[in-house]
Amino acid sequence: MSSYNGAVPTSENGPDIHDAGDETWGSEAAQVLQRVFGYASFRQGQQEIIDHVVGGGDALVLMPTGGGKSLCYQIPALVRQGVGVVVSPLIALMQDQVDALRALGVRAGFLNSTQDYDERASVESAFLAGELDLLYLAPERLRTEATLRLLDRGKISLFAIDEAHCVAQWGHDFRPDYLALSTLHERWPDVPRIALTATATPATHAEIASRLNLEQARHFVASFDRPNIQYRIEPKNEPKRQLLKLIRAEHPGDAGIVYCLSRSSVEKIAEFLTDNGVQALPYHAGLDARTRAENQSRFLREDGLVMVATIAFGMGIDKPDVRFVAHLDLPKSVEGYYQETGRAGRDGLPSTAWLAYGLQDVVQQRKLIDTSEGDDAHRRRLGTHLEAMLALCETVECRRVRLLDYFGQRGDSCGNCDTCLTPPESWDGTVAAQKVLSTVFRLDRERRQRFGTGQIVDILLGRSTPKVLQHRHDSLTVFGVGTELGEAEWRAVVRQLLAQGLLTVEGDYGTLLLTEASSEVLGRRRQVMMRRQLHKQPQGEARAKGAKPRRMTQEDLPEEAVPVFERLRAWRAATAKEQGVPAYVIFHDATLREFAARMPSSLAELGTVSGVGENKLAKYGQEILDVLAEEGA
C-alpha cells in the first residue's frame, strides 16, 4: 500500500524551512489532497498551515468544527518523513478515526487502554518498522516511560495535539493529562508540533499557547462563522413538545443531538421521543460503559437516530450529517454552546441550532456557580460566562454577529438566524424594570424578606394568593401596580433584568436580589431597553432563505435524481454494515448527491467527484457505476 510519504530536504537540525523545496512541498501536499482525500483544492487557510508544518514549523490552529482541521496535520504527516503522532482524548472514537483513514488508504493505528497486549504489540511493531503514517495516542500514555521510549525508537514526523482546549484549566473540557504535553518539544526539539481546537476565546487561546509552550509558534485563527447553521433561541414553554414539533416539522428522519443538563432529563426526553415515533438513544456518564459505547456506535453507524445526551457526549464526533443540535437547558457558556452546536452540519449543508431557554435555567445555572469548586475568582469567571450566554439569548441583534464578537471577530447580519429572519421588537422597559426592582427592594429592605420570581409577579399583578396574604404583601405600595403586563411578560422582564445584571439570584429557591447597578435604574439614571416576547418563530421555509450551503442539498436535486440518491444511500448502508464502519466512512451524503446529479458513466468521470480519492475509486468505483446504471436510473 502506498504511503504517500515523500522525502523533504533536510539538514542536520531537521527540515530547512528556508530551502527552495518549499514550493515542492506545497505541490506535493496538493497532490496528496487530490490522490488520497479526493479534493481538488484546499479550503481557505488550510494550505498556509500545511506548508508551515511540512516545513518544520510549530503551529497553533483555531478553526471551527467542519472547517477541515484534520487535514492540517494529516497531510503534513503524509508528506514528511516518519509517523505523525496524534494526541487525542477521544479514546472511544479512535477506532472510527483510524477506520476512516484506512478507507482512504492511509496506514493508521492507535494505542489506548481498550486494546489487549497483542493488539498493542502489533501497532508498536508497525510503528517501529515505519509501516504507519499516523499513530493516535491518548494523552495519558505520554506520561508512561514505556510509551516515551517507544517513540524515541521510531521516526516521528510531527506531533498533533487535537482538542487543544482540553489544556485550559477552567475550560469545559479540561483534561489534566494535557498539561504534560508542554514537554514534547523538550524531548523532541526537532519535531514540529501543531495544536488544534474548534473553539477558543482570546483568553483560552492565550492559555493554550502558554500551557503548551507555543507562544513562539505561528498562530492561525480562522473565521468562526458557520453560515450553514441557523441559530434559533426561543422561550421555554413545554420544552418536550417544542422539541417534538421542531423534529417533526423540520427534521423528520434526520440525525440530531439533544443536550440536557441532567442524567434524569436525558432519560426522560429519550423515552418521550421514542414514545412519539422518533428513534432516540440516551447518553450520559451514569450509563455503564458498554451501553454508552453501543449507543454511540449506533448513532455513528445508523441513519436518522437522535442522541439525547449530557455534554459528556460529542467532542470529536465526526458524523457529517447531523442536521440539528437542540438544547433543552441553558449552556454554561457561549464557548460550550458554540462547540456543541458546531456538531451540526459538518458537511456544510443547512442545519439548525435550536435552544429553548427560560427563567428557571438562569436560577439553575446561578445555583451551580454558587456551589462550584474553585475560589471566588473562578466563580466570577463562571458568572461572566453565564452573563455572556444570557446576552446572546436576549439580544435583539443578529445572533451570529454576537457569537463572532464573543470570539473577537467581526461579522455582518447573516440573514440566517431567528433575529434576522423575524426581527424582534425592542421596547423601553425602564418603568417595568423599576416596578420589579422596587418590589424586590421593599421586600428585602422593608420586610427583611426574600422571594423568587413567582411571588414578585403575584404582587405586581395584585393576586391575593395564600402566600401573599400570609405575608401581608397586599399592603405593599407596589401591590397590583403591574396589571398592564401578563405573567409571561413579567417573567420575561425578570429574565432580561438578570441577563443585564440588574438582578441576581441566590439559594436553592432562586430568591431575587438587587445588584449595584439596580440603583441606577431605581434612581432614573439608566434606561432599560428590552426584547419584546415573540410569538412567531422562524421555521421550515424560513430556514432555507438565508442558508449558504457550500454543496448541493437534496432539495436541489432534479426530481429524477432523488431515487438514484436513495439507491446510493441504501448501497452505502449495506456496505458500511458489512465492513462494520459508519456510513460516512464510505462516502459523505454530499458526494452521493453529486453522483446522483451528475450520473458519471466511467471511472474517470467518477474520479472527478469531490470526496473520491484513488483508494475509494479503486475500491468502490465499479460498484457505484453499477448502482447508477441500474434499470430506471
Please classify residue 472 by burial: count the beta carbons closer than 10 Å to its beta carbon, then call 0-12 exposed, 13-18 middle and 19+ buried.
exposed
Record the cell numbers describing residue 349, joined without a space: 449543508
Record the cell numbers describing residue 296, joined without a space: 454511540
In angstroms, the CA 165 to CA 366 distance is 24
Q: Kindly tell me if the per-residue pLDDT of 208 is higher than 70.
A: yes
Record the cell numbers describing residue 477, joined without a space: 405600595
pLDDT, tens digit (0-9, with 9 covering 90-100), for 337-373: 998 999 999 888 899 999 999 888 888 888 888 788 7
Q: Kindly tell me if the per-residue pLDDT of 3 is higher than 50.
A: no
Q: Kindly tell me if the per-residue pLDDT of 325 is higher than 60.
A: yes
Q: DSSP assignment, residue 534? A: P
Record the cell numbers describing residue 164, joined without a space: 487543544
- Positive or negative, the Cα torsion across 391, 393, 394, 399? positive
Q: What is the pLDDT of residue 21?
A: 38
Q: What is the pLDDT of residue 10?
A: 29
Q: What is the pLDDT of residue 153?
A: 95
Q: Rounded mean pLDDT of the chain?
A: 86
Record the cell numbers describing residue 443, joined without a space: 421586600
Distances (CA, A) of 591 to 124, 560, 612, 619: 35, 17, 8, 15
Domains in the chain with CATH codes: 10-221 (3.40.50.300), 229-421 (3.40.50.300), 426-531 (1.10.10.10), 551-628 (1.10.150.80)
pLDDT, tens digit (0-9, with 9 covering 90-100), for 24-57: 556 899 999 999 999 999 988 899 999 999 999 9
In angstroms, the CA 633 to CA 627 distance is 8
Beta strands in 499-579 (DSSP E): 503-506, 511-514, 529-531
What mean pLDDT do residues 199-224 have? 90
pLDDT, tens digit (0-9, with 9 covering 90-100), for 240-255: 999 999 999 999 999 9
Q: What is the pLDDT of residue 420?
A: 94
Please classify residue 257 by burial: count the beta carbons closer than 10 Å to its beta carbon, then call 0-12 exposed, 13-18 middle and 19+ buried.
buried
Q: What is the pLDDT of residue 18?
A: 27
3-state secondary structure 187-255: HCCCCCEEEEECCCCHHHHHHHHHHCCCCCCEEEECCCCCCCEEEEEEECCCHHHHHHHHHHHHCCCCE
Query: CA torsion, points 442, 446, 451, 452, in degrees to nearest 10?
Result: 20
Which helix (H) or strand (E) is 324 found in, with range?
A: strand 322-327
Mapping DSSP to helix (H, G, I), strand (E, B) and coil, where does residue 441 land?
Answer: helix
pLDDT, tens digit (0-9, with 9 covering 90-100), for 373-415: 777 887 888 888 888 899 899 888 899 999 999 888 888 899 9
Partners of residue 193 on adjacent β-strands: 159
Q: What is the pLDDT of residue 81?
A: 95
Distances (CA, A) of 18 to 25, 436, 511: 12, 67, 64
In angstroms, the CA 354 to CA 356 distance is 7
Cβ–Cβ under 8 Å, residues 236 and 280:
no
Mapping DSSP to helix (H, G, I), strand (E, B) and coil, where does residue 25 land?
Answer: helix
Q: Kindly tell me if the per-residue pLDDT of 78 is higher than 90.
A: yes
Q: What is the pLDDT of residue 397?
A: 86
Mapping DSSP to helix (H, G, I), strand (E, B) and coil, where does residue 325 land?
Answer: strand
Cβ–Cβ under 8 Å, residues 132 and 166:
no
Helices (H), 276-351: 289-301, 334-341
Lowest mean pLDDT among 116-125, 557-566, 590-599: 557-566
Helices (H), 212-326: 239-250, 263-275, 289-301
Cβ–Cβ under 8 Å, residues 482 and 435:
yes
Backbone φ/ψ region at 459: left (φ over 0), alpha (ψ -120 to 50), beta: alpha
pTM: 0.80
* Sheet of 83-87, strands arranged across: 108-111, 134-137, 83-87, 156-161, 193-197, 59-62, 218-221
What does the angle CA 225 – CA 230 – CA 234 come to, to the nearest 5 degrees? 125
pLDDT, tens digit (0-9, with 9 covering 90-100), for 490-532: 998 998 898 888 988 877 677 899 999 999 999 999 999 988 8
pLDDT, tens digit (0-9, with 9 covering 90-100), for 289-314: 899 989 998 998 888 999 999 987 87
Mapping DSSP to helix (H, G, I), strand (E, B) and coil, where does residue 502 land?
Answer: coil
Q: What is the pLDDT of residue 169?
A: 67
Q: What is the pLDDT of residue 556?
A: 66
Strands 134-137 and 108-111: parallel
Mapping DSSP to helix (H, G, I), strand (E, B) and coil, where does residue 412 land?
Answer: coil
Q: Kindly tell me if the per-residue pLDDT of 536 is higher than 60.
A: no
Strands 322-327 and 255-259: parallel
Q: Kindly tell me if the per-residue pLDDT of 267 is higher than 90.
A: yes
Q: Kindly tell me if the per-residue pLDDT of 547 is higher than 60.
A: no
